[in-house]
C-alpha cells in the first residue's frame, strides 16, 4: 500500500489519457457493436487499469524518482526546456486541429452540441399532457413529441424511430413558427398491420397501434408526413441483424407476399388518414442506409482493426438507388390516385456518385441509418425550400 501511495500521482496522470483516448481504439467500438456496452466496459477495466499501473510504475521508476535525486541545475534546466517544447508542440497540434496525415479525425468534425449525437428523447411534456387531456390516459405507444399543448397542429409526423429524428429537425429549423407533433412506435411501418421478428413481439405491439389510431381520431392536424424505414418493411428485412420482419398475418397464414401486404396496408393507412379530413399527406422516402457508423468512422466492423479515412464515409449512390428503385416505383403506382406527395431527400445526402455520412465536416447520421439532429435539420430545410410543406400554415 505505501508503494501505491508513492506512485499514486503517476497513476492519476496516466489513467486519464488512457481512458480518454481509448475512444480511438477500434476494438472498443467493435465490442460495443457486436457484444454490447457491458463487454466494452469490461475490456476497459481489464486492460486499461493494468496499463495505468504499468505506466505509473515505469514513469515513477525512471522519471519521477530519479528527478527527485537530481542536484545538477543544468539537468533540471534541460528537462524544463524539453517540457516547454512538448507543451508548445501540443499547442501547435491543437491550433492546427490535429496532424494533417492522421486517419482518424472525429474531433475535427464540427459538432455544435454533443446532444446532436446522443439518442433522441422519445416523449416530452407537451405531448403527454395533450394525450392525457384527450383520452384520460398517457399514451401506450413509444414516441410522443409536440411543440405545443394545444390540439391544433399544422403537421403530424407519423412513423417509427425515424419520425422522431425528423421531429428534432423541425424543432431546430422551425422552432415555434408552426405547430407540429410526432407519434410513433419502434419498427412500425405506419400501418394497421404490424411487422415484427416474431409473433410474441407482434402481439405486444398490437395494443400500441390500436391506441395510436384511437388517438389520431381525437387530434386536429392539417397534414401528415409518414416517416419510416419503408424499404425494410417492403422487403421484409432488418438491415442490422439480417433477420426477417414478417407481417402478422404471415404468422397466421404461414405464407404471404410481404411486398404486396406492405403496399396494401400503406394504402389503407392513407385512406384512413383521408377519412379524418387530412388536407395533405406526404410520404418520405428513406434516407440512405450506411454499412458503417460514421460517428466511429475509424471502425470497419468486419475488420475491427482497420482504420478508415473520413473520405471513405460514403456509399455508392447507384447501389443505394438500386435497392430503392422497385419500391419507389410500386408505392407511387399504388398511391397515384390518392394525391399523396412523395418527398425525396436524396439530394441532401447524395450527389450523382456517392451518398455521404459527413458534409462540411458535420455528421449527418448518429448511427448507420438514423440521421443526426444536424442531418434532420438539413432534411427539414430541404423539405421546406423544395416542397414548401408549410406554405399554408400560420405561425403560433
CATH code for the domain in which residue 176 is found: 3.40.50.1110
Q: What is the pLDDT along the chain (396 residues), one digit of tens a residue?
A: 677 777 788 888 887 788 777 766 666 666 655 565 666 777 777 888 888 888 888 888 777 777 777 676 777 777 778 878 888 887 887 776 555 555 444 444 444 444 555 556 789 999 999 999 999 999 999 999 999 999 999 999 999 989 999 999 999 999 999 999 999 998 888 887 655 455 566 666 788 888 999 999 999 999 999 999 888 888 876 533 333 444 555 545 545 677 888 898 899 999 999 999 998 999 999 899 887 666 555 444 343 434 445 556 788 999 999 999 999 999 999 998 899 999 999 999 999 999 998 887 788 888 888 898 889 999 999 999 999 988 766 444
Same domain for 170 and 92:
no
- The CA distance from 202 to 198, in Å, is 6
Are residues 281 and 337 in contact, defined by beta-carbon separation less than 8 angstroms?
A: no
Same domain for 311 and 354:
yes
How many other CB atoms sit within 10 Å of the CB of residue 338? 14
Same domain for 124 and 33:
no
Same domain for 185 and 54:
no
Beta-bridge partners for 246: 196
- The CA distance from 30 to 302, in Å, is 9
Domains in the chain: how many in total? 2
How many other CB atoms sit within 10 Å of the CB of residue 239? 15
What sign does the dihedral 117-122-127-129 (CA atoms) show? Answer: negative
Spatial CB neighbours of 229, under 8 Å, sequence gap ≥ 6: 160, 162, 187, 239, 286, 289, 369
Same domain for 150 and 53:
no
- The CA distance from 334 to 262, in Å, is 11
Q: How far does Cα 36 stand from its chain's mean position?
A: 17
Instruction: Tell me whether strands 362-363 and 358-359 are parallel, antiparallel or unpaired.
Output: antiparallel
Same domain for 325 and 285:
yes
Against a cut of 0.85, is the pTM above it? Answer: no
Same domain for 294 and 237:
yes
Amino acid at each position: 500500500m505505501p508503494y501505491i501511495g508513492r506512485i499514486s500521482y503517476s497513476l492519476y496522470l496516466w489513467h486519464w489519457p488512457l481512458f480518454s483516448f481509448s475512444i480511438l481504439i477500434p476494438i472498443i467500438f467493435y465490442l460495443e457493436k457486436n457484444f454490447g456496452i457491458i463487454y466494452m466496459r469490461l475490456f476497459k477495466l481489464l486492460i486499461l487499469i493494468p496499463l495505468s499501473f504499468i505506466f505509473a510504475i515505469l514513469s515513477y521508476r525512471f522519471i519521477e524518482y530519479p528527478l527527485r535525486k537530481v542536484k545538477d541545475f543544468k539537468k533540471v534546466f534541460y528537462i524544463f526546456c524539453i517540457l516547454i517544447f512538448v507543451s508548445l508542440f501540443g499547442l501547435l497540434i491543437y491550433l492546427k486541429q490535429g496532424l494533417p496525415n492522421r486517419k482518424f479525425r472525429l474531433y475535427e468534425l464540427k459538432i455544435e452540441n454533443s446532444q446532436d449525437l446522443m439518442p433522441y428523447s422519445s416523449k416530452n411534456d407537451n405531448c403527454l399532457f395533450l394525450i392525457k387531456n384527450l383520452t384520460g390516459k398517457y399514451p401506450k405507444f413509444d414516441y410522443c413529441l409536440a411543440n405545443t399543448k394545444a390540439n391544433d397542429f399544422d403537421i403530424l409526423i407519423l412513423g417509427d424511430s425515424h419520425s422522431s429524428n425528423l421531429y428534432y429537425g423541425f424543432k431546430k429549423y422551425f422552432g415555434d413558427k408552426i405547430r407540429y407533433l410526432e407519434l410513433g412506435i419502434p419498427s412500425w411501418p405506419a400501418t394497421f398491420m404490424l411487422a415484427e421478428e416474431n409473433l410474441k413481439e407482434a402481439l405486444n405491439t398490437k395494443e400500441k397501434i390500436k391506441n395510436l389510431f384511437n388517438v389520431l381520431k381525437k387530434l386536429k392536424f392539417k397534414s401528415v408526413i409518414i416517416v419510416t424505414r419503408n424499404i425494410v418493411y417492403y422487403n421484409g428485412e432488418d438491415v442490422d441483424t439480417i433477420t426477417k420482419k414478417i407481417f402478422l398475418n404471415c404468422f397466421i397464414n404461414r405464407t404471404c407476399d410481404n411486398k404486396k401486404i406492405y403496399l396494401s396496408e400503406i394504402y389503407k393507412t392513407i385512406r384512413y388518414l383521408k377519412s379524418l379530413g387530412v388536407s395533405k399527406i406526404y410520404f418520405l422516402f428513406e434516407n440512405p442506409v450506411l454499412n458503417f457508423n460514421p460517428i466511429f468512422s475509424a471502425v470497419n466492423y468486419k475488420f475491427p482493426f482497420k482504420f478508415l479515412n473520413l473520405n471513405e464515409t460514403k456509399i455508392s449512390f447507384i447501389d443505394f438507388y438500386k435497392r430503392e428503385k422497385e419500391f419507389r416505383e410500386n408505392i407511387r403506382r399504388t398511391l397515384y390516385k390518392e394525391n399523396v406527395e412523395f418527398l425525396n431527400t436524396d439530394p441532401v445526402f447524395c450527389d450523382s456518385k456517392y451518398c455521404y455520412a459527413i458534409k462540411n465536416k458535420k455528421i449527418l447520421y448518429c448511427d448507420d441509418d438514423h440521421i443526426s439532429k444536424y442531418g434532420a435539420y438539413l432534411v427539414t430545410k430541404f423539405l421546406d425550400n423544395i416542397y414548401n410543406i408549410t406554405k399554408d400554415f400560420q405561425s403560433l
